[in-house]
Chain A
Amino acid sequence: MDGAAPAAGGRLPDNIAYFGRALRAAGLPVGPGSVLDAIRAVETAGIGRREDFYWTLHAVFVTRREHHLVFDQAFHVFWRKRQMLEKMLAMLSPNAPARPERKGPPPLKRVEDAFFAGVGEPRTEEKPRIEVETRLAVSTEEVFRTKDFAQMSAEEIVEARRRIALLRLPDERVATRRLIADRSGKQLDLRATLRASLRSGGELVDLHRRGPGERRPPLVALLDISGSMADYSRLVLQFLHALTAQRRRVSTFLFGTRLTNVSRALAHRDPDEALALAGESAKDWSGGTRIASSLRAFNRHWSRRVLGQGAVVLLITDGLEREAGEHLAFEMDRLHRSCRRLIWLNPLLRYEGFEPRAAGVRAMLPHVDDFRPVHNLASIEILVKALSVSE
């Protein structure tokens, strides 16, 4: 079995390297290190059977369950034909698109904005007026901060986006179970005490103490992107992108008719690229809402993975759900019980005298810790403050 045909031995490492490159092109994190590992693994296992060869490469190249499918398809395409080398060369040549299903990249929002700025320019005549009286400028500022996102012009949205990106979350922290040195801590740190006392030959005993350290809790956002939320969801997404850049362990999910995890997309530093990627991965923008089934999908597939260690959940939706009922309340209850704090952000709260009449809202309200508006800059700023108060 170990006698992997020596004739193939010369070309096999090359083929594995090409295969590694193909996997990388398909989106798997395959580096030169894993290619070397794969070659070593194949040398170790020998290629007696096709199945063994498959699982040998699998053991090295696949590091997440989600990658299995890509690997499986790539493997069958790549190693099927005898002339795989020539085929691969053709596939990897710069003429062929790396991912054929993807059309040309959509124009960056920033580029669009650049054009908008040109269109908006004739309006400069407004400027002198603001200069005349400072008080007016202040009140304009106030108007802007409390202006509903839905009523903003393209230009104002650009400004809102800029300010949202500048918002900083205060340092909210929760205690960890790992102990650190702490003068007023409750526990004796015998290790430190003993070391210190040995410095004086064991005569002076200065008690060292330790107590729990602190860290930021994970943050999980569930953002409704259905039609009724259209004016808000993109700006909130901008806010979530800024959050992702500021702190570790932020997970973002979009939902309309189905649930999409966009945490990885939002981790891109460039906001335009990040939002474009997030927009691309969710196929149900501006459609209907199925809150109950989306929450169910979240509870089933993700809650155990992202809600550990005291996560705070931001649920951003207007709660307008047709199929409200027992299911919605049930899933909300489960979500509420699995996280440390559940904050519901609802743009409908902007209306004074908002009453939870809709069935969906009534089903959801009993299960949240905090119910807040999110429709203008001021409300997002208040939210940022609220996030800093624990419990």
Chain B
Amino acid sequence: MSGQRLPGAPDSIDATLALLEAGGYVADRALATVVFLALRMGRPLFLEGEAGVGKTEIAKVLASVLGRRLIRLQCYEGLDLASAVYEWNYAAQMIAIRATEAAGSVDRDRLVEDVFSERYLIRRPLLQALEPDPAGAPVLLVDELDRTDEAFEAFLLEVLSDFQVTVPELGTVRAEHPPIVVVTSNRTREVHDALKRRCLYHWVDYPNAARELAILRARVPEAPKRLSREVVGFVQAIRREDLFKAPGVAETLDWASALVELDAAALDPAVVGDTLGVLLKYQDDIAKTDAGRIEALIQDARVAAKAMG
């Protein structure tokens, strides 16, 4: 499969970097390497990392820059086949059965065949992802896999290794072109090694200051230069604090947008104190970051901002 070229897929790591950047995603070289390999080798991409570091975003950006459809399977505890693969439209089936009965003679075999036909099939994300698409195989995002139970994980393992599922009444559906699969996990529990082995693994870390600034500029271009630098400096500093949950990139972007809305040109203690809830999501963390701490963090941020030039 390594020789197989996905139409529109990048042909080098540099090209992958450029492609992601064109979609507004500033990746580091490590991430670009796994994305490139996943696309070229047709393997699922398994991304782990703290909440809000941009794991889900990669799938969205890949879909948009490659011009594919994005199919998202949001995982939750209790997720079953009916909501992940397919379901029958029972109401319509019932009506069909009654209608046949009303018409008189009932040919039981034909009725079964008719009622369990494609007409009454409701396709859920996994089945959709395996079906041919004129735009090319879709991007399948299996989001927050750690939220499902182990039974579903085992089922997914089968789907991801063979790219096929069986609907008992219809037969096996096999993907002609395997979808581009991105699996994400917040690591609220360990995902089984067997599944990880099918995938290319990457731990998405918090970005360093330079990359976070690049992301901020790409995503919130309306933020003044000085403010952007200080925001990044502040977030980088507060991540080193003793927090229960450090802010992710998503929070940085939200915060910068919030500050722009408030017309802030630079950080000052009052405005930081008022908007701290955008960055920190635990009351303990907010309580711990008192006025004195904010002052000190702003000082750090200013120094860091100067260094960013």
Question: What residues make up the interface of A, taking CB atoms closer than 8 Å to B?
Answer: 1-2, 29, 31, 33-34, 40-41, 43-46, 48, 51-52, 55-56, 58-60, 62-65, 68, 176-179, 190-191, 194, 197-198, 201-203, 215, 299-300, 304-306, 308-309
Contacts and interface: CB of A to CB of B under 8 A. Distances in A.
Interface string B114-132: 0100000000000000000
A307 to B, nearest CB: 9
Complex A-B, nearest 8 residue pairs according to Cβ-Cβ distance, in ascending order:
A177-B78, A55-B33, A202-B97, A63-B196, A190-B90, A59-B34, A59-B200, A201-B108
A201 B78 contact: no
A1 B101 contact: no
Interface stretch (B173-181, B186-194, B270-278, B293-301): B186-194
A201 B149 CA distance: 37
Nearest to B187: A305
A300 B115 CA distance: 53
A2 to B, nearest CB: 8
Contacts of B101: 201-203
Nearest to A330: B284
B188 A304 contact: yes
Interface stretch (B36-44, B66-74, B210-218, B221-229): B36-44
A68 B200 CA distance: 14
Nearest to B43: A37
Contacts, number: 115
B189 A306 contact: yes
Interface string B265-303: 000000000000000000000000000000000000000
Given A1-B12, A198-B111, A59 B48 contact: no
B189 A44 contact: no
B33 A56 contact: yes
Contacts of A203: 101
B188 A202 contact: no
B196 to A, nearest CB: 4
Contacts of A299: 244
A178 B80 contact: yes
A51 B29 contact: yes
Given A55-B33, A56-B33, A194-B90, A305 B189 contact: yes
What class of interface size applies to chain B in its complex with A?
A: 35 or more
A300 B190 CA distance: 16
Interface in B17-39: 29-30, 33-34, 36-37
Contact of B88 (A31, A58, A194): A194
A60 B200 contact: yes
Given A201-B111, A309-B149, 8 more contacts: A43-B2, A44-B37, A48-B12, A62-B201, A194-B88, A201-B101, A215-B149, A304-B187
B244 A300 contact: yes
Given A194-B93, A308-B188, A178 B78 contact: yes
Contacts of B88: 190-191, 194
Interface of B: 2, 12-13, 29-30, 33-34, 36-37, 40-41, 46, 48, 76-80, 82, 87-88, 90, 93-94, 97-98, 100-101, 106, 108, 111-112, 115, 146, 149, 151, 187-190, 193, 196-197, 200-203, 244
B37 A198 contact: no
Contacts of A45: 13, 33, 36-37, 40
Contact residues of A: prevailing secondary structure: helix
B154 to A, nearest CB: 13
Contacts of A34: 197
Contact of A68 (B80, B94, B203): B203
Nearest to A56: B33
8 contacts: A46-B12, A55-B34, A63-B46, A176-B149, A177-B76, A179-B80, A191-B90, A194-B115
A190 B91 CA distance: 9
Nearest to B199: A63
Given A63-B196, A65-B203, A58 B30 contact: yes
A63 B30 CA distance: 15
Given A34-B197, A43-B2, A52 B29 contact: yes
A40 B90 contact: no
A120 B146 CA distance: 52
A198 B197 contact: no
Contact of A178 (B29, B41, B90, B151): B151
A305 B190 contact: yes
A222 B97 CA distance: 59
A197 B116 CA distance: 13
Contacts of A40: 2, 41
A305 B203 CA distance: 16
Contacts of B112: 198
Nearest to A46: B12
B37 A41 contact: yes
A309 B148 CA distance: 10
A64 B13 CA distance: 23
A201 B12 CA distance: 59
Nearest to B33: A55
B48 A65 contact: yes
B115 A198 contact: yes
